[in-house]
Chain A
Amino acid sequence: MIGGANTFGHFARKLEAERIEAASVVTTILTDPERYLDAQLPPAWRTIGMVELLCDAARTELVRWPRRSLHLAQLAAAIADALPESYPRLLRAQAAADGWKAISNAHRFASRHDAALTALDIAGARISDEPALAYDRAILALARAITLREMDRMDEALRVLEGARETFSDYEDVQQVAQCDLVTGMIHHRLGRLADARQAYMRVIPSARAAGDLHTVAAAYNNLGRAAADAGDMNASVDALQQARAIFRELDMPTETSRATWSIGAAQLAASRFESAIAILGEVRREFQKLGMPEEAGLAGVDLIEALLATNARAAARELAGEIVDELRRAALNERALHALSYLRETADVATPSAARHVGTYLRRLKDEPKLLFIEPDPER
Chain B
Amino acid sequence: MSLQISPGTSSDHELAATYEEHYNLLVGIAVERFRISHTDAETLVHEVFLDFLIHAARVHDRRAWLIGAIYNASKHHLRRAQRVEPLPDHGPETVDPRYARVGEQWPAELAAREAFARLTPRCQLALRLRYIEGHTIPSIAKILDTTKRYAAKLVSRCLDLAHRRYSGRMDE
Contact = CB atoms under 8 A, between A and B. Distances in A.
Contacts of A52: 54
Interface stretch (A87-95, A333-341, A362-370): A87-95
A165 to B, nearest CB: 13
A3 B125 CA distance: 32
Contacts of B60: 173-175, 211
Interface string B112-148: 0000011111101100100001000001001111000
Interface stretch (A20-28, A250-258, A348-356, A372-380): A20-28
Contacts, number: 171
A10 B12 CA distance: 8
Contact of B6 (A30, A56, A174): A56
B16 A122 contact: no
A211 B14 CA distance: 21
B121 A75 contact: yes
Given A27-B3, A94-B54, A136-B51, A122 B42 contact: no
Given A91-B54, A112-B145, A119-B143, A23 B5 contact: yes
B154 to A, nearest CB: 10
Interface string B49-85: 1110111001111001100110111101100100000
Contact of B20 (A5, A36, A125): A5
B121 A37 contact: yes
Nearest to A103: B143
A interface secondary structure, majority: helix
B105 interface: no
A78 B121 contact: yes
Contacts of A8: 15-16, 19, 46, 49-50, 53
A78 B125 contact: yes
Given A122-B133, A171-B65, A172-B68, A131 B53 contact: no
Contacts of B71: 170
- Interface-centre pick from A6, A43, A122 (highest chain B CB count, 10 A): A122
A362 B72 CA distance: 48
Contact of A57 (B3, B23, B46, B64): B3
Contacts of B6: 56
Contact of A94 (B51, B74, B76): B51
A195 interface: no
Given A56-B6, A112-B142, A171-B65, A41 B76 contact: no
Contact of A118 (B4, B19, B65, B143): B143
Contact of B120 (A11, A37, A48, A91): A37
Q: Which of B15, B42, B65 has the most CB of A within 10 A?
A: B15
Contacts of B120: 37-41
7 contacts: A8-B49, A11-B53, A78-B124, A129-B80, A131-B44, A131-B47, A132-B50
Interface of B: 1-6, 9-10, 12-13, 15-16, 19-20, 23, 39, 42-51, 53-55, 58-61, 64-65, 68-69, 71-74, 76-77, 80, 117-122, 124-125, 128, 133, 139, 142-145
What 4 A-B pairs come out closest when comparing CB atoms?
A78-B121, A171-B68, A134-B72, A172-B64
